[in-house]
Amino acid sequence: MTATIFTDYLNALGVPHTAGYSDRAFRAMPFKSLFGFSRLMQSYGVPSEAWQVTDKAQLTTIPPPFLAREGGRFVIVRSFGRDAAGATTVNFCCYGRNITLPLERFTEQWDGTVLLSYPDASSREPDFARHRFNEIMTGVKRWVLIICTALLIVWGVVTAGLYRNISTICLTLVNLAGIAVTWLLILKSQKVHSASADRICGIIEQHGCDTVLEQKASSFYGIFSWSEVGITYFGVSTAILLLFPGEIHTLALINGCCLPFTLWSILYQKFRIHTWCTLCVTTQILLWLQFFCFLFGGWWSTGIWPLRLSLIPITATYAAVLMAVNRVMTFIKERTASSQ
């Protein structure tokens, strides 16, 4: 989920807190108003008071950080500064983004309301120690998962003998990159905040990924999304390559069957919606890199024809994993919708 302005405000004030609990507490507020902010801050041991400033010229006399409503949204005024010409500027935070505007432009959109908060040494999140411990353990579990996964991949590469051929080494790296990229696509499609996904998506076109993922064509007749197909494809391909390296010819054939989709995706973005999704384009590039790994490794020249009987269980594996991923994503969407 996207970080809330409440968590950003606590960071600016230096109030000890955990992002998970504080974001949930903010989202549970029935009305996002200065009164609601004040009540929530009070539960953290931070007294606050709201003011309506009639003379906007007095903005620079208010000690930052403080909360203000500018352009119909809440922002956190962090500091005041000077631009190259010596004019006063307002440095503020809005939804995790740091923005600097000239004082005149800011005051034009500011409605005159501010919330001042006064934390002290005892101010902190309710039950902060327990929440902090849980947050640390969550981070530990994440690193344990990463380390164990890396060890399993290295073990698979060694035991399968993939390290003996440059094409299989490159193929493994491309598959892992595909899993990472399609995972970010999953996060974007689920509207889960990811700084990495946001940075990558902005390379070609700002908000291009969001626009493309909102199209009906981003899913197969509304049954499952192409991001689910992508992570299934790269995930199963990686597992088969590591566990059953003798089936690399079958993987080459399946990769070849995917290439027409890459052309459709690129043409659809260019001529139909005129918007580029950086993550989607990266996925198509990875599919073609796979193809060249198979081609230059000689896996297309021998072993594909006649078709192997193993093609049936491998195809069934792709389908089964895709259905499982789709069920998990559907369950998450339903739970999220019911909790709102």
Task: Single out the residue in 63, 84, 117 at which a domain terminates.
Answer: 117
Distance CA 127, CA 25 (A): 13
In a domain, 295, yes or no: yes
In a domain, 70, yes or no: yes
In a domain, 149, yes or no: no
When the pLDDT of each residue in the chain is averaged and rounded to a whole number, the result is 88
Task: Single out the residue in 117, 152, 181 at which a domain terminates.
Answer: 117
Which of 233, 234, 236, 241 is closest to 159 using CA atoms? 241
In a domain, 12, yes or no: yes
Contacts of 278 (CB under 8 A, 6+ apart): 200, 201, 202, 203, 204, 205, 208, 209
Q: Distance of alpha carbon 222 from its chain centroid, rounded?
A: 22
In a domain, 273, yes or no: yes
Say if residue 179 is in the same domain as residue 236.
yes
pLDDT, tens digit, 9 for 90 and up, residues 14-55: 999 998 899 889 888 877 788 888 999 999 999 999 999 888
Longest dimension (CA), the chain: 83
In a domain, 126, yes or no: no
Residue 287, class by beta-carbon neighbours within 10 Å (0-12 exposed, 13-18 middle, 19+ buried)? buried
Q: Could you give the residue ranges of the DSSP H alpha helices within 268-296? A: 278-296
In this predicted structure, what is the pLDDT of residue 1? Answer: 44
If one counts the domains in the chain, the total is 2
Say if residue 222 is in the same domain as residue 275.
yes
Contacts of 40 (CB under 8 A, 6+ apart): 6, 25, 26, 29
Q: What is the pTM of this model?
A: 0.70
In a domain, 52, yes or no: yes
- Does residue 22 contact residue 127 with C-beta atoms inside 8 Å? no
Say if residue 98 is in the same domain as residue 166.
no
Contacts of 76 (CB under 8 A, 6+ apart): 5, 8, 9, 12, 65, 66, 67, 68, 92, 93, 94
The CATH number of whichever domain residue 88 belongs to comes to: 3.90.70.10
| Percent of the chain whose pLDDT exceeds 70 | 96
**In this structure, what DSSP letter does residue 58 have?**
G
- Find the domain containing 263 and state its range: 161-339
pLDDT, tens digit, 9 for 90 and up, residues 201-238: 878 777 778 788 888 888 887 788 889 999 999 999 99
In this predicted structure, what is the pLDDT of residue 14? Answer: 93
pLDDT, tens digit, 9 for 90 and up, residues 266-316: 999 888 888 888 899 999 999 999 999 999 988 887 766 777 778 899 999
Say if residue 103 is in the same domain as residue 222.
no
pLDDT, tens digit, 9 for 90 and up, residues 48-97: 999 998 888 889 999 999 999 888 888 999 999 988 888 899 999 887 77
In a domain, 316, yes or no: yes
Say if residue 18 is in the same domain as residue 92.
yes
Task: Single out the residue in 52, 86, 117 at which a domain terminates.
Answer: 117
Q: Could you give the residue ranges of the DSSP H alpha helices within the chain? A: 5-13, 19-27, 34-43, 103-109, 128-159, 166-189, 195-201, 208-213, 226-243, 248-267, 278-296, 311-339
Q: Distance of alpha carbon 9 from its chain centroid, rounded?
A: 22
Contacts of 9 (CB under 8 A, 6+ apart): 37, 65, 67, 76, 117
pLDDT, tens digit, 9 for 90 and up, residues 92-136: 988 777 889 999 999 998 989 999 999 999 999 999 999 999 999
